[in-house]
Amino acid sequence: NGKGNGLRISDGMMGRGKVKAQEVIEAVKRGTNMEPFDVVYYPRAGTPEFFVKISLIGKALQIRWCHGMRFKMAIETEDSSRISWFVGTVVSVQASDPAWPESFWRFLQV
C-alpha cells in the first residue's frame, strides 16, 4: 500500500509472481492482528485457484458430501495451456475446525 507498513515484496521479486514463504507468513500475522499488508496480484487468463466464484460456492454448499461420493475436478496447468481432470472418492467428511462445528465449510479427505 506504499504507507511503510513494514511488509513489502523485495524489489528482486517484483514482476516475477513469486513471494517468499516468510512474506506470506508475515502477511497472515498482520491480517490476524488487523494490521495492513500488501497484496500483489499477477493476473492471468481464468480465475486463479485462490479466488472462488460465489456461484461455485453456492452450488458446493448444496451438495451433502458423504463417504463414498465420487467427484471429478479440473486443474488448469500453470501456463494455462491445458486442463487436467482428477477423479476421486470421498473417504471422510469432517468439520473444518472443531471450534466451529456448525460452519458450512467441511474438510473432505479423498
Q: Which residue has the higher pLDDT, 109 or 5?
A: 109
Beta carbons within 8 Å of 86's beta carbon, 6+ residues apart? 72, 73, 74, 75
SS (H, E, C) 42-66: CCCCCCCCCCCCHHHHHHHHHCCCC
pLDDT tens-digit readout, 42-97 = 666 665 666 778 888 888 888 888 999 998 988 877 776 788 899 999 999 988 88
Q: Would you say residue 2 has pLDDT above 80?
A: no
pLDDT surpassing 70 at residue 22: yes
100 pLDDT more than 90: no
Within 10 Å of residue 69's Cβ, how many Cβ atoms? 15
| 100 against 3, higher pLDDT | 100
Taking CA atoms, 40 is separated from 14, 19, 82, in Å, by: 9, 9, 25
- Residue 51 has what pLDDT? 73
Paired sense of beta strands 83-89 and 106-109, if any:
unpaired
Check: CB of residue 76 under 8 Å from CB of residue 51. no
pTM given for the model? 0.44
pLDDT of residue 39: 78
Check residues 73 and 10 and name the one with the higher pLDDT: 73
Concatenate the DSSP letters of all residues of 5-35 into one string. -S----TTTTTTT---HHHHHHHHHHHHTT-
102 vs 7 pLDDT, higher one:
102
